[in-house]
Amino acid sequence: MNFIEQIIEEDIRNGKNDAKVQTRFPPEPNGYLHIGHAKSICINFGMAEKYNGLCNLRFDDTNPVKEDTEYVDSIREDIHWLGFQWAKEFYASDYFDQLYLWAEQLINEGLAYVDDQTQEEISKGRGVPTAPGIESPYRNRSVEENLDLFRRMRAGEFPDGSRVLRAKIDMASPNMHFRDPIMYRILHATHHRTGDKWCIYPMYDFAHGQSDSIEGITHSICTLEFEVHRPLYDWFCEALRIHHPQQIEFARLNMTYTIMSKRKLLQLVKEHYVNGWDDPRMPTICGLRRRGYTPASIRNFAETVGVAKRDNIIDVSLLEFCAREDLNKTAIRTMAVLDPVKLIIDNYPEGQVEEMTAVNNPEDPEAGTRTVPFSKELWIERADFRENADKKFYRLSIDREVRLKYAYIIKCTHIVKDDAGNITEIHCTYDPNTKSGMPDSNRKVKATIHWASVQHSKKAEVRLFDRLFSAEDPDNCAEGETFLDHLNPNSLVVTEAWVEPTLTLEKAMAIKHFQFERLGYFYADPDSTEEKLVFNKTVSLKQ
């Protein structure tokens, strides 16, 4: 049981909030969701689900200059894809009228004032954490003057940045957020939902807690950087005498070899270091989806990393483990040769073709079987043959035997090289009595390798991904470097593969997740066409 569950269970025991649980996931629609958000989503929706409560989706859209409906749509899609349904969909902008009224209320009670100082003056007046700030010369205006000025701010009489509404709290507080925080700023910008109705917009601190309050949120779960905002969150709820949700902070997710900053992710997209938000190398939900991660694997990952308050850096191999664990049980097996070299079975009859029976998923008998054509000339992986094989290598070599999966045991006789010394053909003989399923087929051989019939197989494009960054902590930069200096130049390698002939576009897009035997898990990319299938490598098999 994590610490949030402990708090919630104690609240339920004490009958707080009528023993009900109501949470919310509150993204700002200014970017795409990433794996860190997935953790938050799983916590918020998970707590609601576990304690028979509800979870809302609320867009925290108080800054029109950064927000866009494109992001709203992607966020909705990603949450649904993860497998969660929100009770209600809200927007902080739904509450702009109420928020405005509450602002006037605080002005009337002498708890807020209009400040005419410039941004620099306000910043300077706030002081530094180790020393108190100084009060604004406009701090003690009359209620009437404040009300008049605030209404004229709303009416559009003043330019951007000329005035703000501030809460009157304590310029000497050791908590910087108490040094008369800004509640409203003037922004003559078109909002994605309210259009041009407003030219003043509330700040996060004057919108978030109240939005929670209006929705009857009981447990407002957020990340650690909002911890210092909590006293302010509490202060506004108390000052306004409204329902007071409990803010609880947990440590955000960090992962090795990846960046989670929305700003930097946006930069990668805008400056074309990656091919869009859904590039399979991105830690975004849509990127992971296109990479071939399943919702279950991501949900299980979120469960496995746990919830606590200490900073953490999760090993990316845990995410990969979660992918393999899920995909192993569900992915349909197929044979594909990514780095081909020709194998010729000298004693196999010219022109003969056999249909070999292959198992679709050894972990799931219900998945059935299929047939794969077998002939005299096959493609095998270049790495499955080694001329000078040591004891640790137990695949094909001259005079050595291996099994061709679902087919025969073969023995390598000789190889042919080109002038440059590259192997162009591997010759072997087969034992006709060792066909899979035959009585003599159980002879032990050290290895089984996969293959593709030269005359039957079809070509497909395969996109091989490696980590986007080569540094474990891309943000840990030497003097004069940025995270971009740690970009892995080999994070994307496009290659051509030979795949089974029965793998049609229709079949690939229906099945989606494949295991290319002995290689890894692959996902049928939406770029696939009838002419050319495209597969993304999700993750390799272990080892």
Distance CA 119, CA 136 (A): 12
- For 450-519, give the secondary structure using H, E and C: CCEECCCCEEEEEEEECCCECCCCCCCCCCCCCHHHHECCCCEEEEEEEECCCCCHHHHHHHCEEEECCC
Q: Is 262 a catalytic residue?
A: yes
Closer by beta carbon to RNA, 317 or else 532: 317
Q: Which of 252, 264, 386, 411 is catalytic?
A: 252
Closer by beta carbon to RNA, 318 or else 493: 318
Q: Is 252 a catalytic residue?
A: yes
Closer by beta carbon to RNA, 6 or else 502: 6
Nearest approach, Cβ of residue 466 and RNA (Å): 16
Burial 29-41 (b: 16+ CB within 10 A, else e): bbbbbbbbbbbbb
Tokens of 449: 């390798």
Tokens of 124: 């300077």
Closest CA to 185 of 171, 205, 215, 164: 164
Closer by beta carbon to RNA, 279 or else 334: 334
Closer by beta carbon to RNA, 18 or else 311: 311
Count CB-CB contacts under 10 A for residue 252.
16
Per DSSP, the residues of 120-181 read HHHHHHT-BTTB-----TTTT--HHHHHHHHHHHHHT-S-TTS-EEEE---TT-SSGGGSS-
Closer by beta carbon to RNA, 304 or else 455: 304
Nearest approach, Cβ of residue 377 and RNA (Å): 19
* Tokens 């900073």 belong to residue: 311
Burial 355-388 (b: 16+ CB within 10 A, else e): ebebbbbeeeeebeebebbbbbebbbbeebbeee
Closer by beta carbon to RNA, 154 or else 403: 403
Closer by beta carbon to RNA, 273 or else 393: 393
Q: Which of 39, 58, 262, 405 is catalytic?
A: 262
Nearest approach, Cβ of residue 361 and RNA (Å): 7
Nearest approach, Cβ of residue 527 and RNA (Å): 25
Nearest approach, Cβ of residue 392 and RNA (Å): 5
* Tokens 């130049």 belong to residue: 489
Nearest approach, Cβ of residue 427 and RNA (Å): 20
Tokens of 210: 């109240």
Per DSSP, the residues of 372-418 read EEE-SEEEEEGGGB-SS--TT--SB-TT-EEEETTS-EEEEEEEEE-
Closer by beta carbon to RNA, 111 or else 207: 207
Q: Which of 9, 28, 303, 377 is catalytic?
A: 28
Exposure of 4 by Cβ count < 10 A (0-12 exposed, 13-18 middle, 19+ buried)?
Answer: buried
- Assign 272 to helix, strand or coil: coil
Nearest approach, Cβ of residue 66 and RNA (Å): 6
* Tokens 């849509």 belong to residue: 286
Nearest approach, Cβ of residue 107 and RNA (Å): 17
Q: Is 28 a catalytic residue?
A: yes
Nearest approach, Cβ of residue 204 and RNA (Å): 3
Count CB-CB contacts under 10 A for residue 438.
12
Angle formed at CA 199 by CA 193 and CA 200, multiple of 5 degrees? 100
- Known catalytic residues? 28, 252, 262
